[in-house]
C-alpha cells in the first residue's frame, strides 16, 4: 500500500464538568486519641508526682475520653498541596475513522473530526482518627491541565473520625470532559486507510496536609508499682495538658501527628487544644494531549 501523508491535528477542550460519581473505603492512617493518650500517661503521672524513681513502674488501667470533640480546622493554617509523583504517559482513549479513495487516477484529501469524551476519576484518600464522627472540613483545589486548558479539581477534606478498628476513607470524584480533534490525510488512488486519534495523559499523585483541633478531657486510672496492693489512682486531665506534659520528647507527636497547641479566636483569645495533622493523597490524570495519524490498511 502506498504511503500517505498526514496533514494536521487540532484540539479544543470543551464542556468540563465536575460530578461526584462514587465513593469507596480503604484503610489508610488510623490514629486513636485514646491509644495515643495511653502512651503519654506514664510521663504525665511522673510529672504529677514531681518525678518518680526510674524503678517505679506506672501501670495504666482504664482510659476514657470525656467530651472530646473536634472543633474544626486550625485557623490560619493553609492547606498544603504538593506534587509527590507523576507517572509515565499512558494511552487513555483511541478513536478511528475508515476512509477510501475510489478514484483510479486522483489523490483524495480526507478529513474527519473526532470527539473524545473522557472521564478522569480522581481519588482522595484521607487520614482518620478518634472515636466519633465529626465534621472537620478544609477546602482544597488543584489545577490540572486538560488539553492546554486549566480546570480545577477540588472539594472538601472531610475527615470521618472513627475508632481504630475502622478503616480510612477514599472519595472518588469524576471529571468528565470532551475534546475535538481533527485529522486529514491524502489518500493515493484506489487506496484506503484509517485515521486514528489517540488521547494520552500522565497520572499524578498530590499530597495534601491539613490540621484540625480537639478539646476535651481524658480520665484515666493507674497503679504505681510502689503503692500498696490494690491502690488505684484516678485523674481527669485536659487533652492539652496531658500531651503537653506527657510528650515533652515529641515522640507521639511524630508518630501519631497529635500534639498540644493553642488556637486563637477573632478576639485574640487563645484556647489550649490538641492538634491533629492529617495527610491525604489525591490521585488523578493530568497533562492530556491528543495525537492523530493515518494508519494504512
Which helix (H) or strand (E) is 46 found in, with range? helix 33-48
Ramachandran angles phi, psi of 86, nearest 5°: -130, 125
Q: Is residue 257 part of a domain?
A: yes
Per the listing, cell 480503604 goes with 26
pLDDT in tens, 181-203: 888 889 999 999 999 999 888 88
- Among 2, 194, 196, 1, smallest CA distance to 98 is for 194
- The pTM for the full model equals 0.60
Q: Is residue 297 part of a domain?
A: no
Q: What is the rounded distance in angstroms from the CA atom of residue 30 to the CA atom of residue 165?
A: 8
Domain coverage including residue 114: 5-292
Looking at every residue in the chain, the average pLDDT score rounds to 75
- The whole-number pLDDT of residue 272 equals 95
pLDDT in tens, 104-139: 999 999 999 998 888 777 776 665 444 334 434 444
- The proportion of the chain whose per-residue pLDDT surpasses 70, expressed as a percent, equals 72
Q: Is residue 182 part of a domain?
A: yes
Q: Is residue 170 part of a domain?
A: yes
Per the listing, cell 485515521 goes with 195
Cβ neighbours around 88 below 10 Å, total: 6
Q: Which residues contact 284 (CB under 8 A, 6 or more apart)?
A: 120, 121, 122, 123, 142, 144, 153, 175, 203, 204, 206
pLDDT in tens, 71-114: 777 888 777 778 888 899 999 999 999 999 999 999 999 999 99
Coil, helix or strand for 275? strand
pLDDT in tens, 152-170: 444 444 433 333 333 445 5
β partners of residue 289: 200
Q: Is residue 241 part of a domain?
A: yes
Q: Is residue 276 part of a domain?
A: yes
pLDDT in tens, 219-273: 999 999 998 888 999 999 999 999 999 999 999 999 888 999 999 887 889 999 9
Ramachandran angles phi, psi of 148, nearest 5°: 90, -15
- The whole-number pLDDT of residue 122 equals 72
Question: Please, which pLDDT band fits residue 20 given cuts at 50, 70 and 90?
Answer: very low
Q: How many domains does the chain have?
A: 1
Amino acid at each position: 500500500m502506498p504511503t500517505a501523508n498526514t496533514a494536521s491535528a487540532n484540539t479544543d477542550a470543551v464542556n468540563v464538568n465536575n460530578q461526584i460519581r462514587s465513593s469507596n473505603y480503604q484503610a489508610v492512617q488510623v490514629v486513636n486519641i485514646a491509644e495515643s493518650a495511653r502512651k503519654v500517661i506514664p510521663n504525665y503521672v511522673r510529672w504529677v508526682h514531681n518525678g518518680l524513681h526510674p524503678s517505679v513502674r506506672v501501670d495504666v488501667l482504664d482510659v476514657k475520653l470525656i467530651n472530646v470533640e473536634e472543633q474544626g480546622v486550625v485557623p490560619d493554617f493553609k492547606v498544603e498541596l504538593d506534587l509527590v509523583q507523576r507517572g509515565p504517559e499512558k494511552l487513555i482513549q483511541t478513536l478511528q475513522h475508515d476512509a477510501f479513495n475510489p478514484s483510479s487516477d486522483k489523490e483524495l484529501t480526507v478529513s474527519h473530526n473526532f470527539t473524545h469524551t473522557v472521564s478522569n476519576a480522581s481519588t482522595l484518600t484521607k487520614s482518620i482518627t478518634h472515636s466519633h464522627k465529626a465534621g472537620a472540613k478544609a477546602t482544597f483545589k488543584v489545577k490540572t491541565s486538560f488539553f492546554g486548558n486549566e480546570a480545577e479539581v477540588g472539594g472538601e477534606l472531610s475527615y470521618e473520625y472513627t475508632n481504630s478498628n475502622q478503616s480510612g476513607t477514599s472519595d472518588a470524584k469524576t471529571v468528565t470532559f470532551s475534546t475535538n480533534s481533527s485529522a486529514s490525510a491524502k489518500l493515493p488512488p484506489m487506496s484506503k486507510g484509517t485515521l486514528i486519534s489517540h488521547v494520552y495523559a500522565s497520572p499524578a499523585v498530590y499530597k495534601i496536609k491539613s490540621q484540625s483541633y480537639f478539646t476535651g478531657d481524658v480520665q484515666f486510672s493507674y497503679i504505681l508499682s510502689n503503692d500498696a496492693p490494690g491502690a488505684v489512682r484516678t485523674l481527669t486531665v485536659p487533652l492539652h495538658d496531658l500531651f503537653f506534659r506527657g510528650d515533652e520528647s515529641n515522640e507521639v507527636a511524630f508518630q501519631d501527628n497529635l500534639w498540644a497547641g493553642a488556637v486563637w479566636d477573632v478576639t485574640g483569645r487563645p484556647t489550649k487544644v490538641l492538634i491533629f495533622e492529617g495527610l491525604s493523597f489525591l490521585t488523578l490524570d493530568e497533562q492530556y494531549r491528543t495525537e492523530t495519524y493515518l494508519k494504512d490498511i
